[in-house]
Structure 1
Amino acid sequence: MPESSVNTAPAAGPSTLTARGRKTRDSVLAAARTVFEDVGFLDARVELIAQAAGVSYGTFYRYFESKEDVFFELSNQLFTEMHSGEPSFSATPRERLIAANHAYYEAYHRNAALMAIVEQVATFNAEFRALRHEHREQLTARTAHAIGRWQRDGLASPDIDPILAARTMSAMVDHTLYLWLVQGEEADKEALLTTLDQMCVGALGLR
């Protein structure tokens, strides 16, 4: 039976569930993540996710409309975790930037297997690519705002565009970690992170 023909009613959102329902939904999410990381997005099936969660086919569709639906939720959770690190406001700009880089590394390291699937799906799914772009833009806007504030305070170079600087630094850090943690490119951890920090600090001309 085609997976798309099973579900006839909208999936229940977390806010409408009982405590038991939320627990079951969370177990389906956890199982889905394991399946995606084990076999990839293309080979993942609702049947495999239901089996991994120990629930029936119908129970899956009580909470999610499709494997795409559950993947989108996992990705939203992932992006929120990846971009939630916020160092103390008492830190200097240089310290804040380095702390943000290292928090992102730790989050990437914890989630490298799922990040590999995220990058895969973004190459062929336009809707998911838009979701990925939306989260990137949120991070870019937050970083650009901080850079602009540092420029006004005379702490960063006034000759760079805050938005372009935020985008290019994010791309540099993201791709470097992807090559290292996902593609398996050899690197010394401390040397790599120190180099990323130096590149970012130098690019902004932080004093």
Structure 2
Amino acid sequence: MKKQATSAARSASGASSPLTSTPLTPRGAKTRASLVKSARALFEKNGYLPTSVAEITERASVAHGTFYTYFDSKEDIFAVVADELQSDFQAMLGAEPELPPGSSISERVERTNRAYLRAYEQLARTVAVLEQVSTFNARLAEIRRTSRRFWLQRNTEAIARWKQHGIIDPEIIPEYAASMLGSMIDRSAYVWIVLGEPYEFDDAVRQLTRVYCNALRIDCHYDA
């Protein structure tokens, strides 16, 4: 009997089997991680639709039936890959060098934009596949929206603080501003990195930051 689909993908290491709540043995966890790693490599190389369960198990050097010990379907394992992608983005954001105390708002915006664009460059192949499948698969589209909500919430909270402190136009609605400005950054990264439109990294970061700050009428440190 099929298990119920979860609303959030499980981590690639997997503390338990998806078919039961029993914790995986070290060998089981290693097998599952190998399947996820193989699936991600194939999705990045060939795309979602051409990749088959048979190819995933062959690359992971496990029997075809072993796949179904851990996952119901190709969609199921891709959900885990998509969850990994979100974790990778967050980890790379956290790895960006911290700013000194007293840094300006525009400097903090620049740091986030730089981290996001740097992470996007490294994760572009997986991002491209997720963008593709989210157009025709409802479950994976929800995972894409969940990923977006992480950034949207961060942005909304920051803009709301600036509004509360009288830094930006009081007529700005934080949720809308966060969505529009976040879409600008996300779509720009997609066009530059996935579609291959020419760009220069430092110029792109500066322009994204300047447009973001200009939209909210925040002083930009470039003009100091």
Work out which of the residue numbers 174, 187, 207 in structure 1 matches 2:199: 187
Give distance in 2, aligned partners of 1:130 and 1:99: 28
In structure 2, the CA distance between the partners of 1:15 and 1:141, relative to structure 1 (3 Å rule), is: farther
Work out which of the residue numbers 3, 13, 17 in structure 2 matches 1:12: 17
Amino acid aligned to 2:45: D
Give distance in 2, aligned partners of 1:148 and 1:193: 23
Pairwise CA RMSD: 2.1
Unaligned runs of 5+ in 1: 1-7
Instruction: Return the offset for 1:97.
Output: 1.3
Decide whether the 8 Å contact of 2:110 with 2:205 is kept in 1: no
Unaligned runs of 5+ in 2: 4-15, 220-224
Tell me which residue corresponds to 1:145: 157
Instruction: Select between 75-84 and 172-181 the one with higher mean Cα deviation.
Output: 75-84
Instruction: Return the offset for 1:163.
Output: 0.7
Tell me which residue corresponds to 2:110: 98
Decide whether the 8 Å contact of 1:144 with 1:166 is kept in 2: yes
Instruction: Return the offset for 1:89.
Output: 9.2
Tell me which residue corresponds to 2:33: 26
Work out which of the residue numbers 62, 69, 75 in structure 2 matches 1:55: 62
Tell me which residue corresponds to 1:200: 212
Q: TM-score, normalised by structure 2?
A: 0.82
Give distance in 1, aligned partners of 2:151 and 2:104: 20
Which whole-Å deviations, capped at 9, do the CAs of 1:23-64 have from their partners, x for residues lacking one?
221111110001111111010100000011111112211111
Tell me which residue corresponds to 1:160: 172
Q: What is the percentage of aligned positions where both structures have the same residue?
A: 34
Give distance in 1, aligned partners of 2:32 and 2:142: 25
Amino acid aligned to 1:82: F
3-state SS of 2:168 partner: coil
Work out which of the residue numbers 45, 62, 71 in structure 1 matches 2:78: 71
In structure 2, the CA distance between the partners of 1:73 and 1:194, relative to structure 1 (3 Å rule), is: same
Give distance in 2, aligned partners of 1:80 and 1:159: 34
Decide whether the 8 Å contact of 2:131 with 2:144 is kept in 1: no
Aligned residues: 200
Instruction: Return the offset for 1:127.
Output: 1.6
